[in-house]
Amino acid sequence: MSMRTPLKDVRGLGSAKEGADHFWTQRMTGAANLVLSLFVVGLAISLIGADHASVASTLGHPLVGLALILFICSAAIHMRIGMQVIIEDYVHGEGAKLALLMLNTFFAIAVAAASVFSILKLSFGG
């Protein structure tokens, strides 16, 4: 005996089967952000008062650049998923919701791409 009504099946408002994936992705990126942000804050504190050449040299180091790129990607994914949940919960018009979800994804990609490009430019001496 099922507790589902036929109307629910017609409307297609059931589970999208993505809740657990988003939950774990949000938790894993949150944990990664915690560790990586400690590194980024420590790096920023260590560069206080340094001249431009010294900062560029430090940020251009391969291991530092890799850690910064990992931080950028993890933070962008975390940001996109967090904003997606807010949009899905609080925006009720379907057209507006779809537009905002698309803009959210494009914004996260643009921020991550610009940031990664900047780190790669420093790393490869452009």
Q: Where are the domains of the chain?
A: 22-123
- Determine the pLDDT at residue 11: 62
Say if CB 83 and CB 47 are below 8 A apart: no
- Determine the pLDDT at residue 123: 87
pTM of the predicted model, to two decimals?
A: 0.81
The residues near 43 (Cβ < 8 Å, ≥ 6 apart) are 58, 64
- Determine the pLDDT at residue 83: 96
What's the rounded Cα separation, in Å, for the pair 26 and 122? 29
Q: Domain 22-123: which topology?
A: 3 helical TM bundles of succinate and fumarate reductases (1.20.1300)
Instruction: Extract the tokens encoding 106.
Output: 């494009």
- Determine the pLDDT at residue 6: 65
Instruction: Extract the tokens encoding 19.
Output: 């809740």
- Determine the pLDDT at residue 7: 62
Residue closest to 65 by CA, chosen among 54, 52, 56, 74: 56
The ranges of the chain with pLDDT < 70 are 1-18, 126
